[in-house]
Copies of this chain bind each other. A is one copy, B any other.
Amino acid sequence: MSNQMQQIVLASRPDGSPTLDNFRLENADMPSPGDGEILVAVSHMSLDPYMRGRMDDAKSYAAPVPIGGKMEGGSVGVVLTSNSSAFKEGDHVFGPFGWASHSVANAQMCRKLDPDMASVTTALGVLGMPGLTGWHGLMEYGRPKEGETLVVAAATGPVGSMVGQLAKAKGLRVIGIAGGADKCKTAVDHFGFDVCLDHRAYPDAKSLRAALKEAAPKGVDIYFENVGGKVLDAVLPLMRPFGRIPICGMIAWYNEGGLGENATGAGLTAPKLWRTILVNFLSVNGFIISNHWNRFPEFLAEVAPKVASGEIAVQEDITQGLANAPQAFIDLLTGGNTGKAIVKVG
């Protein structure tokens, strides 16, 4: 085993959209696990939109990554050394290993994986944080009822595809929004959405709204919010009385100003947003899944068998090599991936 590892650190904070020079690939000494810790060789790391937030130093639900600090994130790998009775050498493991080839972590922060049950990469997507986000957000705050209509953007992403498939199974009309005709085809053919609209085909919120109105003639009962921007502006006036909006993200606004005029909410003012919530008796809930890990066992018990049986479809978009993680992350933020974004590290 080499006594060197590789990691990607935050070189500088982005001004708007991240660029490659915000990241730096570094060599570092191989860390040694302390008591209760494990040393892991990372095989695959996850790329998720929330990581954009960690690059800023604005107040948010988690502390920012410091300049020069390792980019954070969930990964899977194999245990090389264990100082914990919970793991032994060779175990497959999920944990907060960050953007790195190797990592040391407290064993209590890690979860053992059974590679015979499902591919270990599913722990990063459909059976991991994004899948739990879709499941918890839809069930807890969306409260889907048969015959209702749901809209979710980033429809082929790991959150959107989970939301769409669960809602479809509950008897809802499910409308996806995605960037590009190929993704829309994937949403319908692979994930079973009733309709998927290509937001790039609509220049503004108004034209997107007209298309949505046609796709959702009765209006929208649940808008599962993960993008903000133009899509929110388009959907909002279509919300039905007693509608629900779970909010797990707003990727269009993470690089505020970076995605055109509508992304900054030019077409949508705070009073208009607030008034829509009032006059339609909407229930809006922001949430971040790290507050709800207690539901993970219940989620896994319900969803893992459906993944195994193929009832819930999976799609992964795998980039080769840690060095290519920054570009893959930049692509993720502009919708360059189809399916769960993963980097194969080792």
Measured CB to CB, the residues of A under 8 A from B are 59-61, 225, 228, 232, 241, 247-250, 253, 256, 264-265, 268-275, 277-288, 291
CA distance A232 to B283 in the complex (A): 18
Chain B's closest residue to A247 (CB) is B278
Q: Report the minimal beta-carbon distance from A48 to chain B, rounded to whole angstroms.
A: 15
Q: Is the CB of B284 within 8 A of A284?
A: yes
Q: Which 3 A-B pairs have the closest CB atoms?
A: A265-B270, A278-B286, A277-B286
Q: B residues within 8 A CB of A279?
A: 59-61, 286, 288
- Which of B264, B274, B278 is in CB contact (< 8 Å) with A271? B264
* In contact, A284 and B285 (Cβ under 8 angstroms): yes
Contacts of A59 in B (CB 8 A): 279
Where chain A touches its partner, the secondary structure class is mixed
Taking a contact as CB atoms under 8 Å apart, the answer to whether B270 and A281 are in contact is no
Interface centre among A278, A284, A285, by most B CB within 10 Å? Answer: A278
* B contact residues around A277 at 8 Å (CB): 247, 284-286
Closest beta carbon of chain B to A183's beta carbon, Å? 24
Q: Output the least CB separation between A339 and chain B (Å).
A: 24
Cβ-defined contact, A281 with B291, below 8 A: yes
